[in-house]
Structure 1
Amino acid sequence: MTATAERAAAEDTGDRGDPGERGRLHISRSVLRKIAEYAADQAPGCARTRRRLAGVGLREHGAVAHVSGPDDALRVRLDVALRYPTPVCETVASMRDRVGGELRRIADRQVRTVEVTVSALVPAEAPPRVE
């Protein structure tokens, strides 16, 4: 069989060869940011807070992430709210592991650092408020 016939036979059977040889994959930084935010939000103790602008409540949000650096040494900065009285150090350590692990697992990216800023402590059982 000739090389052309072999390629045609491989295409007919659905065998496309090595995925790395078929093209390139680019994962947008916004996707990496969303993965980091989702992973941080899944950490036990992470809380959602209401976003405010000039005293007006807009909507709830969870962790906010900023991703920078090259793909093999990402730097992730997180801004999170935690439930009170969650142990801060343990929760942040768990969050760092979770974010780094998810970026490795889902996007095959190496994480160099995960900096976490705890911007709020939210009561675990917040009573409903009227705004």
Structure 2
Amino acid sequence: MASRGQSRGRGDLEQQVFAALAAGGGPMTTSEVRDALGGQLAYTTVMTVLARMQAKGLATRTRAGRSYAYSAVVDAAEVTAHQIHRLLDSRGDRAAVLTRFAGGLSAEESALLLELLADSDSDSEAEAERP
């Protein structure tokens, strides 16, 4: 970890926080992450990094009393899916973005996407029919 007076490389702190979350074995509060990193960082610094990681889809958060507990998202596919959702949410015309995306898919990717959508529809219908 960089000491006072030394600057960190871009993303170093985020990587350290991610490593602490991944090694934590479960959801961790900001204080717990700060302690896992040696307690040298300001609470607000750790809180900001965690909030940014959550916004990027690298971490999830759940309520823990008046605060939040964070967990690392270790599945690369889940991170990518979250990033795609964030991009779609940030654009005004979702249909245009999805149309351009779908137009760039190969025949195999298109077939896979159609299959996944059909499976998703079946799962949704089955869930709606449960008592």
Q: Choose between structure 1 and 2 for higher RCO, CA contacts under 8 A separated by at least 6 residues.
A: 1
TM-score over 0.5 (shorter chain): no
Higher strand share: 1
